[in-house]
Amino acid sequence: MNYLEAVPAVRRIDTDRDDLFAVDIVGEVNAADAENLYGLLEAAYALHAQIDVLVRLTDFESADWSEISRQTLEQGQTAALGHVRKCASVGGPDWTGYARGELPEGVELRHFPADREADAWRWLEAEPRGGA
């Protein structure tokens, strides 16, 4: 199956806060999914100087970042540094230890096991809409 046939792994979650960027990442993430994620984040940054982020990993398998240019990865990281206040990771592997070393002081980053997703929403003072 090629990228055009694959179901997107990155799916927006509608929330009750305009300045909260929430996504569900399902299954295996390929280069096209990563590019889509960066594009969605850029749109959120264009609308809000500061955002909070929730990343829910559902049946996460793997992520292949090898086909993404180094420049794209660096631009994505730089943009996040200037815009993200809080980031909640829900389910999947806890990647916050790695990310903490890449983010400046002041960005709050927490991992929540899948069975504590409600705690992540409370921490971000938000709720999903539409039965997410």
DSSP secondary structure string, 52-117? EEEEEEEEEEEE--TTS-HHHHHHHHHHHHHHEEEEEEESSS--HHHHHHHS-TT-EEEEE-GGGH
Give a yes or no: residue 111 inside a domain. Answer: yes
Confidence of residue 56 (pLDDT cuts 50, 70, 90): very high
Cα separation of 75 and 58, whole Å?
26
Residue 100 resides in a domain: yes
Q: How confident is the model at residue 7 (pLDDT cuts 50, 70, 90)?
A: low
Number of separate domains in the chain: 1
Asked if the structure places residue 54 within a domain, the reply is: yes
For 35, the 3-state DSSP assignment is helix
Residue 99 lies in a domain: yes
d(CA 114, CA 58): 8
Asked if residue 44 belongs to a domain, the reply is yes
Specify if 52 maps to a domain.
yes
| Rg of the chain taking only CA atoms, in angstroms | 14
We report the CATH number of the domain holding residue 25 as 3.30.750
The reported pTM is 0.85
Q: How high is the pLDDT of residue 89?
A: 94
Which structural domain, as residue segments, surrounds residue 50? 10-85+94-123
Establish if 61 belongs to a structural domain.
yes
Both tokens of 26, joined, read 């399902």
